[in-house]
Every structure is written in structure tokens, then in C-alpha cells.
Structure 1
Amino acid sequence: MSNPFLEPSTLDYQLPPFASIREEHYLPAFDAGFAEHLADIDRITASGETPTFENTVVALERAGSTLDRVSSVFFSNSVSHATAAIQDLEQQVAPRLAEHEDNIKLNRALFGRLRQVPLDGLDEESVRLVEEYLRSFVRAGAELDDDAQATLRRLNSELSGLSTEFSQKLLKDTNDSALLLDSVEELDGLSADSISAAAGAASDAGHEGKYLLTLILPTAQPALESLTDRGVRRRLHEASVNRGARGTDADTLAIATRMATLRAERAALLGFDTYAAAATDNQTAPSLDAIMDRMRQLAAPAVRNARDEAAELEAEAGHPIEPWDWAFYAARVRKAKFDVDMDALRPYFELERVIHDGVFYAANRLYGLSFTERPDLVGYHPDVRVWEVFNEDGSGLGLFLGDYYTRDTKSGGAWMNSFVDQSTLEGTRAVVINNLNISKPGRGEPTLLSYDQVVTTFHEFGHALHGLFSDVTYPLFAGTSVPRDFVEYPSQVNEMWILWPEIVANYARHHETGEALPQEVIDRIHAAGAWGEGFETTAYLGATLLDLAWHSIPAGTVIEDPLAFEASALADAGVDFAPVPPRYRTSYFKHIFAGGYAASYYAYIWSEMLDADTVEWFKSSGGLTRENGDHFRRELLSRGNSIDPLEAFRRFRGRDADLHPLLVRRGLA
């Protein structure tokens, strides 16, 4: 049987040939990919020619094409459609990939050639490419002696395996922790489509006639806003916060603790005091101290605002507010203060309209893009849809895939992945995908989104635009390959169009009557926007400061009780306000233990400073215009990491970012 990974795809834009890919193709393709990549490296290091940019750096960029093809598909499926076979393969492949990466980055001959490459006569992007490779090799341990490199290899291999184990156990326990209810009366307060989705989820899980409330990744579960039964709310909240810490074979706490201690050891080996210091050394933030100072500055006023909000909720409830009460009474207070019932908005947010008449329409108005669905091109699962994206002049820009519905094989949360990176060197254009976790409605019923899900849809498409608009020479710099504390910036900017007059009028229409969402309701949503930021900021900072605490332990630290460590970290940071738990607790903090955000969850609010300032620029410069969109695309979205991201921001904005718009947005001014 021919293996579809061994040659470039012949489909449009080199979309992976998912219809031909079988699970038995992956392991042979990885075997071939590892061997091919090492052979490519051997040719570079065995060359008798003097190192040049072309024969060393460009050759390194071109190396490993088979491994790139199989990795992009496999690791997308490992979070989007993690069948039992995929999970078994991931346990085999992940440590081997870590070892392989070490074989590249710790190759002394290759590192030696890179250091000899002359920079004279190279353009700005090419100079940056050489410098980035050198930095990445040093950070990977290329300058360590043999004994230290051997230790580093051991640590990297174990960490890779633990990350896979954390992800797989969390997926299992998230599925196992879903709340099964016997009667529809227990769902009082939920909308008809939500009840239908719960019935469908129960049926799919083999519980015909019952109702299953599945869990999303963050602590706060959407149904808590609507469920009238306080006991059911408590059970749902406790199911959420106890994931990975229930004393089952799917517990993750020991894994998280082991990973934190191994990361501390790895950081010390590389000359850093802590893993947090190592992880933030190559970000846009000037230093770890600067990050910690900023987070602490935000924490005190955020908690103060949260306490004020809690007092309002207690007055409404007539009893002390527990975590499972917050969303329910916040919805009531918001309705009383601003006459906004967020759950009542769902009929105006039907998925197809949100995608076509909202997300795509905004991209057309701002950037001139158009989208044509391609049913002839298939994804890795029947739910995946494919659109071809065109520039205003009709030229093809790339492919956008959407995988919107939840399933047992999909990780919680929402994210963007890339199957093909844009590169003029390779002659490739971007193929990107957005994953969400929307409950699938009953057969024949519309998919109605909550307002938060609308926000997520626009947010993730901001990442997709960052990938699609990439216009760089070298694959290393393509699209979202920017520092972690910059990558969320373009996606957060894209959220600004959700309630922009021309956009919301185009997509927010009642799915039965076609009636537009009334302007007075939109005005009330705007007015209510800042209320509740105490809760949101406190929950976010709780997770951020917990992340930094886990990754600020020195090498050799022994943590006997991870939950006690968590409680102490939140108290020490001043964000231990019981009614507002952190957005993620240790046991289900996938971002940092299986998602690349270790010591970097601060990135969201760090990026938001740039985002808030950019929103002010758009508003003061005429808003939704092609001129503004082209400027943002040309100076920032297209640049990837080909120039320093903050320099790209300065070229776009004309100056450094101003913190004040963020403080106003968060109610912290």
C-alpha cells in the first residue's frame, strides 16, 4: 500500500489527502521522516564546502519535508480526533520526536557550520533567520558538554512522554466527569436546544432517555448561568474543578508535579534560575520580573472589583455566593442592571450565519477576502469543512478548515492549527484549521451559539487570518510562529468586529423570523461589557499566577501535595478569592502541561495591551475600511516572525503600545 505522506500532496494547496490517510500510515511515515531528516542534516554537515547561507541555512529550512507532512496531520488529530489507535501511536511517537529534535539541535557539526555562516550581503529576513537558528540551538543546549547533553536528552524524553500522558488522561477524565442527569426537570432554565443537545450527548454515550452535560476545558461551565437547581449547579461545578484529581487512574496531579520539577532541572542545566526565567527569555516581554510586576499590579484591583461584584450577587441571591452560584446570579444582576439576558440571545447566533455573514463578511469588508466552500476536499472527520479563500483580485490565498462540534475524541477548548505553512522559498500557501467544541444539536435542529461561543469563533478566526496572510520567505517565520506572548494579539483584535454595526446587523438575526438583533439590545450589551470584569480578570490572573508559581520553583524542589502547593500559590499571589476559582486548576491546566504555554499563560493579557491599543487605532482611523485592513495586514499580519514582532507593531501603530486602553477595558483604570 502506498503511503500518502511520502510525497507532497497533489491536492489544491497541498491539502493533506485525508481520504487516503489511514492510521497504519503514520508510524512508517514517521520512520521514513526521521531517517530522511537525519540524512538531510548529514548532507549539510558532510559538505566540504565553506558554510554559506544557501548550503547551510536554506538547506536546513528545506530539510525534513516528510516529517513535516506527517507531524502536522498526526498532532492535529491527536487533539482533534484522538482515537484509541492515535493515542497509542502518540505514546510511541512523542518521545522519539523529542529524541529526534535533540539529534538536530545538539548536533555539534551543524551548530558549528551555522556559526560560520557570513551575514554580509543578506537581506533583513535572512539575517534574522540565521540569528534565530543560532539562538534556538543555544537554548536547546548546543553549547553544553557531553554529560550535560545526555542529561538534557533524558529530561526532554521524559517530559515529552509526560505531556502526552497528561493530555490523554485529561481527555479521558473530562469525558468520564460529564454530569449525567435522569430527568429533564433537573435541566430547568436551559434553552430547548441545550436540552436537546444534552439528550443527544446522553444517547451517544449509551444513556438513552437521560441527559448528559459535557464539560468544556475552563473551570466555568456555560450551563451554570441558566440552571435553576442549585444542587445541579454544584454538581456540575464540582465535576469541572475535580477533573484529574478524583483518585482514579486518570489523575493528572502527579504528572503535573513531575513535569514542573523536571522543567526546573532542565532550566538549571541551561543556566537559568527557574523554568519561568528560561521560558520568558525569548518573548516580547522584557523580563520575568516585568511580567510578575505587571500581573501583581493587576491582581489587587481585579480582586477588589470581584469582591464588589460578589456583594451585588449576594444581595440578589439573599445568601453567600459560592462558585457554582456566580454565573447564575451574575446573569440576573446583568439583566436587572442592563436589561441583558445573554442566554436569550442564542436564537440570534446561528452557526452558519455567524460563520458566513459574520466572520467571513468582516474579513471581506476589511481585507477583501471571499470564501468558497469546497465539498470536493475532505477533512479528517465528517464534521470538518473546507473553504478556499481568495484575495480581492481573485487570486487564491489558501484553505480554511472548520471543525466546530465537540466529540469524545476531541480535546476541550478551541484552537487553530496549520497543515501547510506559507513560504515563498517552498512555493506554498497556507492551509489552516479552527477547532471549537460546540455541542451538536438534535437532527434537523439549528446550531445556536452562546455569545461567548461567538466571541470564540471570531477569536480563532483571527489566528486563522494570521496564518493565511503570512507573506514570508522562510517556513520558520510563517504565520503564527511568533513569540507566545504575541501570538494571541491578532486573534484578540479580530473580536472587535463582533458588535461592529455593519457586521452584527449582517449576521445576528433570529434563526426563525429573520429579525435583526435590536439595536437597543446591542447598546445594552456594550453598556454591560465592563460589568463582570472583576470576575473575569481574577479568574484569568489566578490561572496565570498559578502557572508562574509552578514554573518558578528552583531545581531540587520537592512538592508532596500539589493541591496544597496550588492553594499556597494563589494565596501568596493575592488571588485566593473562594467564589472565583482560577480559570484552570492544576489538574486540567492543559495549556501549560500539554499545550505549549508553560510559564506563558500571561501571554493573553500581555497581548491584550497591544490588542486594546489597536482597537483604539481602528476606531480613531475610520473603523471597518479596506485601507485600515490593508495597513494592518501589510505591516503586521503578513510579517509572521520575519521581523521583531514589536517592531512590526511600531510600523503598524507608529509608536509603542499604550497600556491605558487595556486598563479601561478591564475596569482597572
Structure 2
Amino acid sequence: MAAQTPLVQNPLVMEWDTPFALPPFTQIATDQFRPAFDEALREHEQDIAAITANPDAPTFANTIDALELAGRKLNQVGGVFWNLTGTDSTEDLRAIERDISPRLTRHYTAISLNPALFARVADLYGRRETLALDEEQARLLELTYKSFVRTGATLQGADRARYAEIAERLTTLETEFSQNLLANETDFLFELEESDLAGLAEDVKAAAAQTAKERNTAKPYALTLQRSSVEAFLSQSSRRDLREDLFKAWIARGENPGKTDNRPLIAQILALRQEKARLLGYKTYADYKLEPTMAHEPGAAAALMDQLWTPALRRVEEERAALQQSVDEAGGNFTLAAHDWRYYAEKLRASRYALDQAELAGYFQLENMIAAAFYCAEKLFDLRFQRRDDLPVYHPDVRAYEVTDGQGRHVAIFYGDYFARAGKRSGAWMSNFRGQKKLGGEERPVIVNVMNFSKPAPDRPSLLTLTEVITLFHEFGHALHGMLSDVVYPSMSGTSTPTDFVEFPSQVYEHWALRPEVLQKFATHFETGAPMPQALIDRIVAARHFNQGFQTVEFLASALVDFKLHWRADSPEEIGAAEAGVLQDIAMPAFMVMRHRSPHFAHIFAGESYAAGYYSYLWSETLDADGFAAFEEAGDIFDPATAKRLRDHVYAAGNRRDPNAAYAAFRGRAPDTAALLRKKGFV
């Protein structure tokens, strides 16, 4: 590592004299992060000290406003650092992450346990009815007070000290979990010869050749453990032996014996989370975690999952029988196994609906699908996206766009980072380098979508699967939630909502991806330029319920394992046995594997955001099924009045209103939970 840069020259803590005050990525070096964090943490400590030392009686302005504005440099430095550790991790960055994660936890825990600061917040909360607050201020005060309570502010003595110890230890373990998983995914390569490629589409072969070239492998083709490349191989390869080998490696991420084995970490994480919840007065961690969500308590989340589990099991058994018949008719002398499902499902889909994923991919060019997502945002929310090659980016593959409204006013900067590469964690996500706020001066957001699509050979377009098209629209829905944010307070902006509501804006946006009105315009064949035939569009619509049993059981098994591990009075010592016990209790089919096994379940063990709450996607799916029906009822999927309500009460509103009230303001009523069963074709 290079010598440390003098702080006076450190761009991370300077005002950024760049277009739209974007991070000056080309000027930032890894060795600048430690001193930048040092300076930013000192500034934030000074900000907090100034609030607590204020001799004036607490007011909303000198306490809550001041808290919202505190730590500007820390937000700036962290915005760059945490994005880069997800997209372009190096050993140097990981070393800093291991050091800074517990340090940041100590810092924020000290703030939440600061008695003088909490006294000011509690004083205001006690007088809240007399403060003449507007709706957003009243909600912010309530959330701020409850956040202090939920992070230990009312604890005393030994309990207070123990809470701080637990918080720091959890951060260390969760960081280690994430880095172990990244190491497993980065180090693994599934190398192939030409003779191993039977059944693969040309774009999949080309991507495997490109991976082998980039990673300098001994064999001419290679796959990583990125979901996009694994699922393509499992769906297309006629080599059952290779499908089994790759599938075993895929589901074993995080549990390979040795220093990257995540199983011992999970046991510690679960025990510490349970202890933290009990310190704060909750029976279980699930009770603690679900209190501020739309569900409010574990019973409501359990009821939703139970409502769907039985019909999903019934459907997946029907699907299994049909796939086994396909195996038998093809002369396969074996019982369908988990590594066979995707291959034979695609065969059956092609047979029933004349739908072949390789054929479909020819119409789903990445560039066109990005344009389709932009087009829907323009039709719904009057947004425009202009590619800006003059803006700084953190990797050559990243695209930058300026987002404006119909009057030409600046709305946001959007970064699209679409291709898998070494050092990027798996999956797809939305994040930001800067959130939106009005307090202390208007700031518009800088949003990023990160994907892991296979990078094509230089002479070929990037072709997406049907699932990848949905993923692109899903994450762009999150991005719109960040870009359209229009609130005063930074902690309330964008996606800063409960997890079982935050997925609603992303999941409802998925509906536009496969609408005929969109496909006819953007699904053009990469070789001929011909639009997708109406007959093919009709077959896509007809097949919308195909494989829904499998997809629902695969997801729900993960959600139930997460939920039940966190909703128990004790903590398991051996995660493998605990996971197997839950799956046995719910009668998980032996021919399936849960979507995310615990040792690589980053959603819940690489951080706490979705812990005990992976069910949130299902809750939000209930909202999105009912929510999109509002457009169908209006007779226009771009209906202006419905789109305005969706923008005003959901995408622009951040967390300034209780999410149940926000949904009712958009829809005119509470959600119809039966809409989810209809969407999946279970009724």
C-alpha cells in the first residue's frame, strides 16, 4: 500500500468541485480512507458534543434538525467507501473494512447511549403535542425517540455496557461473514472444455470464454458462482454430471471447511442477537425486529407465510410430477433431483408454451431493456435520462446518467453498473452515494444500480434472461424510490422505510417489464432487429404462472428458516442441524433446496437489515399485486392520475408517513391480500 496521503490533499473530506458534486473517483486512492474516516469521525463527535453542550432548552431546531445535519463528512466518506467495498473490493479495502466496521459501531453506539443527548430528545418527545410540528417533523421526532430506545438509550449500568459490547461484536462477525462469502465466490472457478458445453446457448458460451480469458484459466471456458452464470448453466446444460457439480458448489458457498466457514459465525450472531433483544425487553429477536415494520409483530408475518406455504407445496408437487414425467419420457433412468429442476423446467416450458429461454434472450438486449426501464419512468413520472460520459465513474464499465424532469430540471444522477467482475459481491442491489434532502439546502440524490450480468464478448451484445429482465426492473424500481425522493429530512428520504414496505416500489415496477406495450417497443431481436412477435408475447403472458410453485417454495423456505431461527427462545449451536430442523418441520420437499442456505444468506447474516425479515419480499409482493391492479382497473398501465398517486404517496414520500397509511393514500384502501394468490395462479 502506498504511503498515506496528507489529509489536506485528501479528496474524500474536501468539497467536491465536480459536476453535481460527484465523488472525484479518479483522485481517490485506497490509502486515503483511513485518514478520511479519522477526520470525519472527529467532526461528527464535535457535532454531537455541540448539541449536548447547548445551554438552551431543547427545541426541534437545536436538537432534531442538528442531529439530522450532523456528520456530513462521515456520510460523504462512507458513501464512497461502502459502495466500493460492494462493487470493487480488494484485500486492502477489506482490511480497512474489518477495522472501520467495529469502530463505526462503537461511534454510533456511543451516540445512542449518550444520556445528555437522549435527555434532549426525550424532553421533546414528551412535549410533542405542544410543539406545533408538521406531519414529517412529528414522524421524525417519533422515529428518532424510538430509535434511541431501540438502541439501548434506556439501559443502565452493566446492561448498557453489555449492549455496547454486543453491538460491536455483531458488526465484526457480520463483516467477517460477508468477506468469507466474497472469498468463496471470488476464488471459485468452474473450468470447462469445449466438450463440456453441450446444450449451452451461444451467448452463454461467449460469456464463459470471456470469463476464462479475464481470469487466465487453464481451460478455455469458465463459470463463476455468480447467480446469472450458474442459473444459465443449470437451465441449459445437457451434462447432468456437470450440473450436479456446479450446483453442489453453488449451494455450499460459505460452508467450505477452513477459515471461510460461516457456520460458526452464524451461531454466534444468532446468540448475540437474541441476547440484545432480551436486554431491550423483547422475548425474541423477531419480536424486537418486527415491531417497527408493517407487520408489527411476528404472528402477522407468520400468518402470511403460512397462508401461502400450503398452496405453494401443493403446486410444487404438481410441477415435480410433470418434470419427472419429462425425465422418464426422455429415457432418464433417475429420480428428479435439485440440480435437474431448472433444466427440465425449461424443457417443459418450451414444450407447453413454445418458450425457449435462449430464444427469448435474443430479444432481451441489455441496452434495450435499460431503455425500456427509462421509458416506463418517463411515461409514469415524466423523467428523462441523458447519458453523460463526462461525469466521473468508479469503474470503466459503469454508465452515468443525468436525470431531469419534463421541464428540464435536475432530479438526480443515476449510475448503472451491470456486469459481474472479480471483487464485486454477488446479487443485485440499489445504493446511493448521496441521498436527497432539503434541510440545510436542497441536495439531489446520486443513485446506483448494481447487477451481475455476464459480460459478453466484445463483438456480441449482452443478452438477458427473462429473470434478469425482471431483476433489472426490480432494482430500477428501488432506484426510482431514491431518485424521486422529495422530503425535508435526510434520515427520512428515499428507501429509508421499513423493510416490508421498501420492496413495494421495486416489486410493483417489475410489472411493466413484460407488458405487451413495453415488449412491442423494446424487445427487438439482436440479429434481425425485428420486434418480438405478438404470438411470442402471448406465450410469455400465458406462461406467467409456470414454475410458480418452485419459485415460491424456494423463496419461502429461506424466509421461514430466517424467521424461525430468530423467533425461538434459544440460539442453536449448530446451524446445519437447526436449518435442517426447520425444513423438516415445514415439510420442505426433498427434491428442492432453499433459495439462500444459511451459510451464504447475506441478507440476514452480513448485516441486520433483513434479519428476521426476509419475509418482507412476500409482504411487499402482496402490496405490488394489489397496487398494480390499480392501473389495470384504470384501463391504462400508464394512467396519469394513478401514477401521480403512486409518485406522491410512495416514491417521493420516503418515510414521512406510516407505510400502512401511505399505501392506503395511494390505493384508497388497505391492500387486498388475496391479490397475491391470484398473481401466483394459486386460486
> Normalising to structure 2: TM-score of the pair?
0.95
Give the drift of 1:146. Answer: 2.2
The 2-side partners of 1:223 and 1:73 are apart by 34
Matched, 1:648 2:648: no
Give the drift of 1:245. Answer: 1.4
> Cα deviation per residue 1:12-70 (whole Å; 9 max; x = unaligned)?
33322212211111111111111111111111111110100011110111000010111
Determine the structure 1 residue equivalent to 2:216. 206
> Cα deviation per residue 1:151-183 (whole Å; 9 max; x = unaligned)?
0111111110111111111011122333222x1
Determine the structure 2 residue equivalent to 1:389. 403
Determine the structure 2 residue equivalent to 1:543. 558
The 2-side partners of 1:200 and 1:248 are apart by 30
CA contact (8 A) 2:363 2:525 kept: yes
Matched, 1:64 2:74: no
Q: Describe the SS at the equivalent of 1:348.
A: coil
The 1-side partners of 2:390 and 2:508 are apart by 32
Give the drift of 1:220. Answer: 6.9
CA contact (8 A) 1:459 1:491 kept: yes
Determine the structure 2 residue equivalent to 1:565. 578
Q: Describe the SS at the equivalent of 2:33.
A: helix
Matched, 1:368 2:382: yes
Determine the structure 2 residue equivalent to 1:172. 183
Matched, 1:126 2:126: no
Letter in 1 for 2:492: F
Give the drift of 1:218. Answer: 9.2
CA contact (8 A) 2:226 2:420 kept: no
The 2-side partners of 1:649 and 1:461 are apart by 20
Determine the structure 2 residue equivalent to 1:349. 364
Matched, 1:416 2:430: yes
CA contact (8 A) 1:219 1:583 kept: no
The 2-side partners of 1:366 and 1:501 are apart by 16
Determine the structure 2 residue equivalent to 1:26. 33
Matched, 1:465 2:458: no
Percent identity of equivalent pairs: 39
Determine the structure 2 residue equivalent to 1:103. 110
Partner of residue 240 from structure 1, selected from 250, 255, 265: 250
Letter in 1 for 2:30: E
Determine the structure 2 residue equivalent to 1:524. 539
CA contact (8 A) 2:136 2:656 kept: yes
Letter in 2 for 1:338: Y
Letter in 1 for 2:100: V
Determine the structure 2 residue equivalent to 1:144. 155
Q: Describe the SS at the equivalent of 1:104.
A: helix
The 2-side partners of 1:115 and 1:265 are apart by 25
Larger displacement relative to structure 2 (651-660 or 375-384): 375-384
The 2-side partners of 1:8 and 1:343 are apart by 49
> Cα deviation per residue 1:608-658 (whole Å; 9 max; x = unaligned)?
111000111111112223333222111221000011111111111100000
Determine the structure 2 residue equivalent to 1:276. 286
Q: Describe the SS at the equivalent of 1:434.
A: strand
Matched, 1:300 2:313: no
User: How do 1:647-666 and structure 2 match up within 5 A?
Assistant: 647-666=661-680
Matched, 1:552 2:567: yes
Determine the structure 1 residue equivalent to 2:225. 215
Give the drift of 1:473. Answer: 0.3
Letter in 1 for 2:546: W
The 2-side partners of 1:510 and 1:232 are apart by 30
Larger displacement relative to structure 2 (493-502 or 457-466): 493-502
Partner of residue 604 from structure 1, selected from 607, 617, 638: 617
The 1-side partners of 2:250 and 2:520 are apart by 36
> Cα deviation per residue 1:351-393 (whole Å; 9 max; x = unaligned)?
111112x111111112111111111112211111110001011
Letter in 2 for 1:187: L
Partner of residue 80 from structure 1, selected from 75, 84, 87: 87
Unaligned runs of 5+ in 1: none
Determine the structure 1 residue equivalent to 2:602. 590
> Cα deviation per residue 1:474-514 (whole Å; 9 max; x = unaligned)?
00100000001111100001111112222111210011210
The 1-side partners of 2:44 and 2:474 are apart by 35
CA contact (8 A) 2:277 2:285 kept: yes
User: How do 1:253-272 and structure 2 match up within 5 A?
Assistant: 253-272=263-282
CA contact (8 A) 1:19 1:378 kept: yes
Larger displacement relative to structure 2 (651-660 or 589-598): 589-598
Matched, 1:509 2:524: yes
Matched, 1:191 2:201: yes
Determine the structure 1 residue equivalent to 2:589. 577
Letter in 1 for 2:511: M
Larger displacement relative to structure 2 (290-299 or 385-394): 290-299
The 1-side partners of 2:633 and 2:286 are apart by 38
Larger displacement relative to structure 2 (40-49 or 288-297): 288-297
Cα root mean square deviation, aligned: 1.4
Give the drift of 1:303. Answer: 1.2
The 2-side partners of 1:134 and 1:218 are apart by 43
Change (3 A) 1:393 1:66: same
User: How do 1:283-294 and structure 2 match up within 5 A?
Assistant: 283-294=293-304
Larger displacement relative to structure 2 (464-473 or 240-249): 240-249
Q: Describe the SS at the equivalent of 2:397.
A: coil
CA contact (8 A) 2:270 2:572 kept: no
Larger displacement relative to structure 2 (50-59 or 498-507): 498-507
The size of the alignment, in residue pairs, is 664
CA contact (8 A) 2:230 2:246 kept: no
> Cα deviation per residue 1:192-229 (whole Å; 9 max; x = unaligned)?
11111111212222215421111125997232110001
Q: Describe the SS at the equivalent of 2:13.
A: coil
The 2-side partners of 1:244 and 1:219 are apart by 18
Determine the structure 1 residue equivalent to 2:448. 433
Give the drift of 1:558. Answer: 4.6
> Cα deviation per residue 1:90-126 (whole Å; 9 max; x = unaligned)?
0000000100010111111000001112432111111
Partner of residue 471 from structure 2, selected from 441, 456, 463: 456
The 1-side partners of 2:115 and 2:591 are apart by 53
Q: Describe the SS at the equivalent of 2:291.
A: coil
Change (3 A) 1:396 1:281: same
The 1-side partners of 2:188 and 2:318 are apart by 33
Unaligned runs of 5+ in 2: 1-5, 329-333
Matched, 1:401 2:415: yes
The 1-side partners of 2:492 and 2:566 are apart by 27
CA contact (8 A) 1:378 1:384 kept: no
Letter in 2 for 1:168: Q
CA contact (8 A) 2:228 2:454 kept: no
Give the drift of 1:304. Answer: 1.4
Letter in 1 for 2:383: L
Determine the structure 2 residue equivalent to 1:618. 631
The 2-side partners of 1:635 and 1:324 are apart by 43
Give the drift of 1:553. Answer: 3.2
Give the drift of 1:550. Answer: 2.0
The 2-side partners of 1:632 and 1:299 are apart by 30
> Cα deviation per residue 1:574-612 (whole Å; 9 max; x = unaligned)?
3x2122211000111011011421111000000011100
Letter in 2 for 1:88: A
Q: Describe the SS at the equivalent of 1:497.
A: coil
The 2-side partners of 1:177 and 1:301 are apart by 37
The 2-side partners of 1:218 and 1:610 are apart by 27
Larger displacement relative to structure 2 (611-620 or 111-120): 111-120
Determine the structure 2 residue equivalent to 1:328. 343
Determine the structure 2 residue equivalent to 1:10. 17
> Cα deviation per residue 1:338-359 (whole Å; 9 max; x = unaligned)?
1111221111111111112x11
The 1-side partners of 2:364 and 2:470 are apart by 11
The 2-side partners of 1:384 and 1:492 are apart by 24
> Cα deviation per residue 1:115-141 (whole Å; 9 max; x = unaligned)?
112432111111111111000000001
